[in-house]
Amino acid sequence: MKFAVIVFPGSNCDVDMYHAIKDALGEEVEYVWHSTDNLDQYDGILLPGGFSYGDYLRSGAIARFSNVMVEVVKAAQAGKPVLGVCNGFQILLEAGLLPGAMRRNEGLKFICRNVGLKVENNQSMFTSGYELQESITIPVAHGEGNYYCDDETLAVLKRDNRILFTYDGDNPNGSLERIAGITNEQGNVLGMMPHPERAVDSLLGSKDGLKIFQSIVKNWRESHVITA
């Protein structure tokens, strides 16, 4: 499986994401600059964390208009797995690929530490490697991770089981309903604030994030089996 790590001016977690795919997962991966206008050769799209365009206007608001986002939308519509982490999640929200918005953390401070997560749905292409309600540890690093949506959107997310991760224990940023990660209606686009790419080896303090990438590969391969 071949992954693209999209790099925007101000991305700073692209190297972590590349390492997670190449060294921990053992799959093919390339950096792809934001001006790229074709992603057809890639099977999975990864939007890493950072501060794209310096977070001017608001996080992800400018990156949403980069050339590559036209291709990211096309990839999502074609059913390819798209994962946006932290700033990548914010970009997916701004692009309309996921519902809702991000606000400043409830305490108005940047948070950088390990947090507990609970797996709320293990029937997705991103979470099939986990047990339902499994508790995992993955780090966060953000100043605007307070997820919010209106009541109607929240009801739809709950009804369709599109909330994949919630914060387990404390709610570090004040997110509505402790939401840490959601998918689109089709189930192939995941946005999450915690950084699974920073939790792929026990030397990093946790390897709980690796199962997200392993789940993507497993489900992609199963869907691309060629039968005689």
Which of these is catalytic: 34, 142, 144, 195? 195
Which of these is catalytic: 27, 120, 144, 197? 197
Whether 101 contacts 93, CB under 8 Å = yes
Whether 17 contacts 46, CB under 8 Å = yes
CATH, domain range 2-223: 3.40.50.880
The pLDDT value recorded for residue 226 is: 56
User: In the annotation, is 86 catalytic?
Assistant: yes
Tell me the torsion sign for CA atoms 204, 206, 211, 216. Answer: negative
Question: In which residue are the tokens 């009804």 written?
Answer: 159
| C-alpha–C-alpha distance, residues 193 and 140, integer Å | 7
Which of these is catalytic: 27, 86, 120, 142? 86
Q: Hey, how many other C-beta atoms are within 10 angstroms of the C-beta on 168?
A: 18
154 φ/ψ angles, rounded to the nearest 5 degrees: -60, -40
Query: pLDDT tens track of the chain, all 228 residues?
Result: 999 999 999 999 999 999 999 999 999 999 999 999 999 999 999 999 999 998 888 899 999 999 999 999 999 999 999 999 999 999 999 999 999 999 999 989 999 999 999 999 999 999 999 999 999 999 999 999 999 999 999 999 999 999 999 999 899 999 999 999 999 999 999 999 999 999 999 988 899 999 999 999 999 999 887 544
The pLDDT value recorded for residue 228 is: 43
User: In the annotation, is 197 catalytic?
Assistant: yes
